[in-house]
Amino acid sequence: MNNSKLETINYSLYYGNYRALKEINIKIPENKVTALIGPSGCGKSTFLRSFNRMNDLIAGVRTEGKVLIDGEDILKTDPVALRQNVGMVFQKPNPFPKSIFDNVAYGPRVTGLKDRQKLEEIVERSLRSAALWDEVKDNLGKSGLDLSGGQQQRLCIARALAVEPTVILMDEPAASLDPIATLKIEELIHELSVNYTIVIVTHNMQQAGRVSDYTAFFYTDETRTGQLVEFDDTKTIFTNPHDRRTEDYITGRFG
């Protein structure tokens, strides 16, 4: 495995007294796609949000152990600065009720960039990277809400890229999209992994198999506490899993 970009050490997370994640140890490699899979309620989305501290926004969340980015404890970085480095794409496309241009320029503007020409460069580059430029280049003033679902999601990816993050978290980014739009997003994820560390949560195992280099299988028992069962390169997880539970899940015996 290459250098690890993200790492957790004995990481546990509690909602009040209920433990949602138990002692998770993982090293997520740089500039690869890592898929988090597992049955509903196994805590994989919660785990994903740990990397950009979005769980901080939820009342009563408490954590133990460590989350490291580039070897540094994320609790020691400012959450706002952290989120500029760790972008996120949500399950439901959530463009702002603004123009396409203003959606993509939002991040750079928030970080203080005012120069119109620079903004235009960034918007074009980000939209190109998100494979949306050709479809919208003549309509940058149009509202982001007028785009189709798949376009909206690519707009959200462009919006995340514009801040120049090194990590992109994706929480079931294609869950609300039709098969063709899903395919486009998957191709995009593949292209982006050259330059970005991507962590993607997905319910769709075929998707995990198609897009990811590494796969982490999360599982939860009667206690409803999520734990990491197995983490390996995707091929191994899908063809030769070590753990019986992984095999059962992969072959569709539950979940």
Partner 1 sequence: MENRTSEIALIHKAQAQNLKKEKTRQDFWVAVMWLFGLITVSILVLVVGYILLEGVKAINWEFLTTSPKGGLSGEGGISTTIGTTFYLVSLTLLVATPLGVGAAIFLIEYAGEQSLSSKFLRSLIGVANFAVETLAGIPSIIFGLFGYALFVSTLKLGFSLLSAALAGACLVLPTIIRTTEEALLTVPDDYRRGSLALGATKWQTLYKVVLPASTPGIITGIILSVGRVISETAIFYVTLGGSYRMPTSVLDGGRTLALHLYYLAMDTRAFDKAMGTGAVLVVMIILINLLIDLVSRKLTTGVRKVR
Query: What sign results for the dihedral spanned by CA atoms 49, 55, 56, 57?
Result: positive
Q: Which residue has the tokens 């399950």?
A: 91
Residues 159-198 that bind partner 1 (CB under 8 A): 159-160, 163
Per the CB < 8 A criterion, the answer to whether 58 and 15 are in contact is yes
Convert residues 19-48 into a mask of x (bound to partner 1 by CB under 8 A) and - (unbound): ------------------------------
Angle separating helix axes 100-110 and 149-161, nearest 10 degrees:
20
Residue 92 is a binding residue for partner 1 (CB under 8 A): yes
Outline where DSSP puts E strands in 137-250: 167-171, 197-201, 214-220, 226-233
Which of 71, 76, 97, 194 lies at the binding interface for partner 1 (CB under 8 A)? Answer: 97
Question: CA-CA distance, 8 to 50, in Å (whole number)?
Answer: 10
Residues in a beta bridge with 24? 11
Strands (E), the chain: 4-15, 18-29, 33-37, 61-69, 72-73, 86-89, 167-171, 197-201, 214-220, 226-233
Token pair in block for residue 100: 């396409």
Q: Show the site string, 129-148: x = touches partner 1 by CB under 8 A, - = not.
A: --------------x-xx--
Which one among 21, 54, 130, 177 touches partner 1, defined by CB under 8 A? 54
Enclosing H/E stretch for 246: helix 244-250
Residue type, 98: K
Q: With respect to partner 1, which residue has the nearer C-beta, 44 or 83? A: 83
Q: Identify which of residues 72 and 221 has a Cβ nearer to partner 1 in the complex.
A: 72
Assigned token pair, 218: 């999360």
Bridge partners, residue 34, by sequence: 199, 214
Task: Considering the complex, state which of residue 109 and residue 190 has its C-beta at the smaller distance from partner 1.
Answer: 109
CA–CA dist 152, 144 (Å, integer) = 7
User: Should residue 212 be labelled a site residue for partner 1 when binding is judged by CB under 8 A?
Assistant: no
**Binding status of residue 204 toward partner 1 by CB under 8 A:** no
Q: How far is the CB of 86 from partner 1 (least distance, A)?
A: 9
Using CB under 8 A as the binding rule, whether residue 110 contacts partner 1 is answered as yes
By CB under 8 A, is residue 154 in contact with partner 1?
no
Instruction: For residue 212, give the 3-state DSSP assignment.
Output: coil
Return the range that interacts with partner 1 (CB under 8 A); candidates 2-10, 79-87, 123-131, 190-198. Answer: 79-87
Question: Do the Cβ atoms of 184 and 150 come closer than 8 Å?
Answer: yes
Of 49-57, 128-136, 181-189, 210-218, the segment contacting partner 1 by CB under 8 A is 49-57
Smallest gap from residue 176 Cβ to partner 1 (A):
10
Whichever of 97 and 179 has its CB closer to partner 1, that residue is: 97
Q: Which residues bind partner 1 (CB under 8 A)?
A: 52, 54, 57, 59-60, 80-85, 87-88, 90, 92, 94-98, 106-107, 109-111, 143, 145-146, 156, 159-160, 163
